[in-house]
Amino acid sequence: MILRPDELAFLASWAHEERAPNPYVLPAHQLQAAHGVKGVGLIRLIKAWAHSQGRKDEDIFNLPHPPHPTWPWPDETQLAAKFGEPVSSTRSG
């Protein structure tokens, strides 16, 4: 799976935040919640990226990770295309 630099930066930030005692108050997790995306979807993106690049998913921690990432998917359709399935969203309607 090919990910754009902004997608990789967001996922790297999100992964780093996962190690924090309360990641849900941090910027990437706040964006995740605001867009209604479940963490398992982001984990699957990281794993798909690693597999396609012949890397370990832990390699995401070696990538640059901005402290205040931006949401890299302008709409749910683009995000769903990356997931390869309908968007896994907690939002209704």
Tally of structural domains, the chain? 1
Residue-range definition of the domain harbouring residue 22: 5-83
Residue at 11 is within a domain: yes
Residue at 48 is within a domain: yes
Residue at 21 is within a domain: yes
Contact predicate 45/57, CB 8 Å: no
Residue at 89 is within a domain: no
Residue at 93 is within a domain: no
Tens digits of pLDDT across the chain (93 residues): 889 999 999 999 999 999 999 999 999 999 999 999 999 999 999 999 999 999 999 999 999 999 999 999 998 888 888 888 543 333 333
**Residue of 74, 53, 55 whose CA lies nearest to 10:** 74
Residue at 73 is within a domain: yes
